[in-house]
C-alpha cells in the first residue's frame, strides 16, 4: 500500500483464480507512514494486560457509502484502501492498529517507574478482512464458495501471523451492527495477533488443565460429546462439525461451532473440514439473521474464532467459534449492567434450550 502496509488478494473467480490476470494495481494515494504508540500495561489486580492505543481515537467512523474505504477504488468519490476496481476477498494491515510490529523503541518498563505496573510495547499485528466488494451484502448472504474463500484467508493469515515475532495468539472475528460498535458498515472482519494469551483463553486453559489432570480427558471434547448426546441444544450437525447453544449460554442468542477432530486452529483444518464449515457456518449465520423474524433488521452479532495459543497449551483446547448477539428481543438490547460489567456475574434472560429451538426453527 502507499504507506507501506501489506495487502493480500484471495481470489475465487476467473481470470484471477488461475493467475491469467492480476488485480494488482498501484495504490496512488499520498499517505503518510503509519504511526502508532501502542503500549500495554499490566493490571496487577486482575493479572491481565490492557492495550493503550490513543491513536485510534482518530479512526474513520461510519462514513457515507460513497466514501467507504473498503469498497473497490472507483466506486466512491475517493480512492479507497483497495486500489483494484473489484475484488473477491482482501486482507490488509489496519491503518489504526492496536498491536503492530513497528513499536515505539523507548517504552519504559514500568508506569511511573513503579514495578507494580509493568509496561511493554504492544507488539503484534492487526489486519482487516473484507469478505466481498458488495457494500450492501452480509456474511450470511455470501455464496458458499465465497465463505470457503474467507475460511482459506483466515487459515492462511493464522499461519503467517503465528510465525511473527512476539505473537502469542491469533483471533479472527467479525463485528456486525452499529450496536456492537462497528465503525464501517461494509462487510468485513478483523484479525488480531496478540502479544499475550488473552484472558478468556488463559481461563479456559486453566479449566482444561484441571479437567485433564482429574480425568485424563479433553475438556472441549467432553463438552462436545455431552452436547451431541443430549441433542436438545444442537442446532446443526455434520460429519466434521457440530453447532450448539452452550448449556450455560450467557447471551440472549448464542451458539458455538466445534470441530469433531481436535485441531488447534484454522490452519490445521483439512479440505473436507473447511468445505463443510463453509456450509454450516453460513447456515448458522442465516439462522441468526432470521431468529427474530425481522429480515429487514438483522440482529447485531460478534463472531469470534477462538484458537489455541501459538506457544503454550495447544493440546489443552481446540478451535471453536463463539457467535452471539446482544439483542434480546425485537428492538431491545441486553445491556451489560451492574452484575455483568461490574462483577462478571452473568444473568441470561433466555433459556439455552429455547434459544436452540428457535435457531432450528429459523432454518426451517
Known catalytic residues? 188
3-state secondary structure of 301: strand
- Rounded to whole angstroms, how far apart are CA atoms 130 and 128? 7
Q: Phi and psi of 9, rounded to 5°?
A: -95, 135
On whether the CB atoms of residues 85 and 73 are closer than 8 A, the answer is yes
Q: Phi and psi of 42, rounded to 5°?
A: -90, 125
Angle in degrees, CA 330, 334, 338, rounded to 5: 160
SS3 for 147-202 is: HHHHHHHHHHHHHHHHCCCCCCEEEEEEEECHHHCCCCCCCEEEEEEECCCCHHHH
Handedness of CA 351, 356, 361, 362 (dihedral sign): positive
- Grid cell of 149 as nine digits: 474463500
Amino acid at each position: 500500500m502507499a504507506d507501506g502496509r501489506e495487502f493480500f488478494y484471495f481470489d475465487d473467480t476467473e481470470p484471477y483464480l488461475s493467475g491469467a490476470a492480476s488485480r494488482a494495481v498501484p495504490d496512488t494515494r499520498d499517505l503518510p507512514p503509519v504511526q502508532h504508540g501502542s503500549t500495554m500495561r499490566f493490571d496487577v489486580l486482575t493479572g491481565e494486560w490492557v492495550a493503550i492505543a490513543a491513536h485510534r481515537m482518530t479512526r474513520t467512523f461510519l462514513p457515507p457509502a460513497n466514501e467507504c474505504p473498503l469498497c473497490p477504488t472507483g466506486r466512491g468519490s475517493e480512492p479507497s484502501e483497495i486500489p483494484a476496481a473489484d475484488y473477491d476477498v482482501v486482507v490488509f494491515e489496519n491503518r489504526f492498529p492496536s498491536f503492530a510490529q513497528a513499536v515505539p523503541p523507548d517504552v519504559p518498563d514500568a508506569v511511573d517507574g513503579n514495578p507494580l505496573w509493568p509496561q511493554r510495547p504492544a507488539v503484534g499485528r492487526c489486519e482487516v478482512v473484507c469478505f466481498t466488494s458488495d457494500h450492501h451484502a452480509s456474511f450470511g448472504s455470501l455464496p458458499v464458495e465465497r465463505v470457503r474463500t474467507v475460511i482459506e484467508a483466515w487459515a492462511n493469515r493464522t499461519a503467517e501471523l503465528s510465525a511473527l515475532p512476539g505473537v502469542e495468539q491469533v483471533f479472527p472475528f467479525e463485528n456486525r451492527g452499529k450496536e456492537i460498535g462497528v465503525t464501517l458498515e461494509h462487510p468485513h472482519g478483523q484479525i488480531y495477533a496478540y502479544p499475550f494469551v488473552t484472558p478468556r483463553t488463559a481461563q479456559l486453559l486453566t479449566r482444561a488443565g484441571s479437567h485433564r489432570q482429574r480425568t485424563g480427558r479433553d475438556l472441549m471434547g467432553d463438552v462436545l460429546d455431552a452436547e451431541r448426546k443430549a441433542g436438545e441444544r444442537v442446532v446443526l450437525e455434520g460429519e466434521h462439525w457440530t453447532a450448539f447453544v452452550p448449556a450455560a449460554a450467557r447471551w440472549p442468542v448464542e451458539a458455538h461451532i466445534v470441530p469433531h477432530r481436535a485441531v488447534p486452529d484454522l490452519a490445521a483444518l483439512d479440505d473436507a473440514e473447511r468445505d463443510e464449515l463453509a456450509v454450516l457456518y453460513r447456515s448458522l449465520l442465516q439462522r441468526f439473521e432470521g431468529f427474530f423474524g425481522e429480515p429487514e433488521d438483522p440482529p447485531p452479532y460478534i463472531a469470534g474464532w477462538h484458537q489455541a495459543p501459538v506457544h503454550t497449551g495447544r493440546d489443552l483446547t481446540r478451535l471453536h467459534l463463539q457467535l452471539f448477539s446482544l439483542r434480546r428481543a425485537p428492538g431491545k438490547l441486553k445491556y451489560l449492567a451492574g452484575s455483568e460489567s461490574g462483577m462478571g456475574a452473568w444473568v441470561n434472560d433466555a433459556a439455552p434450550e429455547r434459544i436452540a429451538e428457535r435457531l432450528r426453527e429459523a432454518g426451517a
